[in-house]
């Protein structure tokens, strides 16, 4: 992990001299609400239960303008059931459940089961792990959720510890030298909540650093990081307009780019739909405590689009597929694979395995984000050693999983053992 330069005192002071602009939250217009229907359908029809997905979906449903009481009730019941296993939940999973229950006006349930107290204990274990080993038990994305939930639900925490936790010196958003926008965005939301309750110059400095890092990840089409981190980045920028100049970000351009991706099936995974929808509604996770607890009028009728028959038979394409151990150099193998057009990365891996099992055999596990690779050639990813199997195309890391990324003719695909 590479360190980012500390903000200079001069730069920090100049920040307070910059003219602030009013918070200009862009959101899907009433005319654009129909374009959000596929996101609602994807979430409501989700059949892959997990604490993260269930909670994220419930939050998104509660923050949306469209209303489906049956779906919200169903997901609320599932989230409540997840509480029964709270001893085995990670701190971030519990924090997300608390945020979801709060959005669903279930703060009495949160209090009855002493969920905030449980989160305080889990969060303290994360801090203890950082103090002893330099790393949290989970990751800094989950720590952002922890702080946000504790702040919104008036939990106990140390502002000075929080300031140190999400600082440039801590480098919490870096893995292998890369800044992760979603992690940085969650930290901004958490720090903003803490700073609103108890203003602190160090926390303001850290927010400024994070906002600048997020804006540096803005692409020409308006996406920030990748398309899947853009929704959370929008949330972070919604709540921090005083930390950047108005011309630094064209909110409407970002909004329109994300909206254009919905019809292309980019957010076909329930968790992806749930994480992008709040921003498209002009909402952030800070709004979970402001949801009206009265029934909302209107019921969204979700219809499933009928599949269309292909107009012609798919032809085959050729790609290069490689497996590389970049840590121990135990394997470096490549082959040419032929697969049908519109195949996903996982199909290429399966074809390579069928071609030469001894070199290319692999294992996967399912998650709310789809299938992820756990081992290749018998080499297991390890949370203890902080190793994982990274997917790349043409030497660039992929933002989609093995079961989602559609390959193209001539692609140079790689599965690489990396360290974070």
The annotation places the binding site for cyanocob(III)alamin at 182, 226, 275, 372-373, 389-391, 398, 420
* CA distance linking residue 340 with residue 347, whole number of Å: 9
List C-alpha distances in Å: 372 to 202, 287, 366, 385: 38, 32, 6, 18
* CA distance linking residue 66 with residue 54, whole number of Å: 18
Nearest to residue 35, comparing CAs of 273, 224, 291?
Answer: 273
Known binding residues are 182, 226, 275, 372-373, 389-391, 398, 420
List C-alpha distances in Å: 60 to 8, 96, 99, 268: 38, 12, 11, 15
* CA distance linking residue 232 with residue 166, whole number of Å: 17
* CA distance linking residue 24 with residue 336, whole number of Å: 50
List C-alpha distances in Å: 337 to 237, 252, 333, 356, 412: 43, 41, 13, 11, 10
Nearest to residue 149, comparing CAs of 228, 94, 199?
Answer: 94
- Contact yes or no for 75/309 (Cβ under 8 A): no
Nearest to residue 288, comparing CAs of 332, 365, 235, 339?
Answer: 235
* CA distance linking residue 324 with residue 103, whole number of Å: 44
367: which 2 tokens? 């998650």
* CA distance linking residue 22 with residue 36, whole number of Å: 27
Nearest to residue 361, comparing CAs of 376, 371, 348, 351?
Answer: 376
* CA distance linking residue 27 with residue 258, whole number of Å: 11
């Amino acid at each position: 992990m590479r360190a980012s330069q500390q903000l200079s005192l001069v730069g920090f002071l100049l920040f307070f001299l910059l003219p602030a602009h009013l918070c200009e939250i862009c959101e899907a217009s009433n005319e654009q609400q129909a374009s959000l229907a596929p996101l609602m359908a994807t979430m409501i029809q989700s059949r892959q239960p997990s604490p993260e997905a269930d909670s994220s979906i419930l939050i998104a449903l509660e923050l949306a303008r469209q209303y489906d009481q049956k779906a919200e009730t169903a997901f609320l019941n599932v989230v409540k059931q997840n509480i029964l296993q709270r001893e085995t939940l990670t701190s971030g999973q519990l924090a997300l459940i608390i945020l979801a229950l709060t959005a669903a006006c279930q703060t009495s349930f949160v209090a009855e089961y002493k969920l905030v107290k449980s989160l305080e204990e889990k969060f303290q274990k994360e801090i203890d792990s950082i103090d002893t080993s330099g790393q949290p038990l989970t990751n800094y994305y989950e720590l952002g959720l922890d702080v946000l939930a504790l702040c919104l639900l008036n939990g106990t925490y140390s502002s000075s510890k929080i300031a140190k936790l999400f600082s440039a010196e801590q480098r919490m958003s870096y893995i292998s030298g890369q800044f992760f926008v979603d992690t940085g965005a969650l930290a901004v939301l958490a720090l903003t909540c803490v700073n609103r309750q108890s203003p602190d110059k160090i926390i303001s400095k850290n927010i400024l650093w994070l906002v600048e890092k997020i804006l540096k990840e803005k692409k020409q089409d308006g996406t920030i990081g990748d398309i899947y981190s853009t929704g959370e980045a929008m949330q972070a920028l919604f709540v921090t307009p005083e930390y950047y100049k108005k011309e630094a970000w064209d909110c409407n351009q970002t909004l329109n780019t994300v909206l254009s991706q919905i019809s292309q099936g980019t957010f076909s995974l329930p968790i992806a739909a749930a994480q992008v929808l709040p921003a498209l509604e002009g909402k952030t996770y800070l709004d979970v405590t402001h949801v009206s607890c009265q029934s909302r009028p209107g019921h969204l009728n979700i219809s499933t689009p009928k599949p269309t028959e292909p107009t012609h038979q798919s032809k085959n394409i050729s790609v290069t597929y490689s497996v590389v151990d970049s840590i121990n150099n135990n394997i470096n193998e490549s082959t040419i694979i032929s697969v049908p057009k519109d195949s996903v990365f996982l199909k290429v891996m399966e074809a390579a395995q069928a071609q030469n099992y001894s070199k290319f055999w692999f294992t996967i596990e399912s998650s709310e984000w789809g299938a992820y690779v756990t081992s290749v050639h018998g080499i297991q990813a390890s949370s203890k050693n902080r190793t994982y199997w990274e997917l790349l195309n043409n030497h660039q890391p992929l933002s989609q999983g093995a079961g989602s990324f559609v390959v193209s003719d001539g692609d140079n695909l790689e599965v690489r053992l990396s360290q974070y």
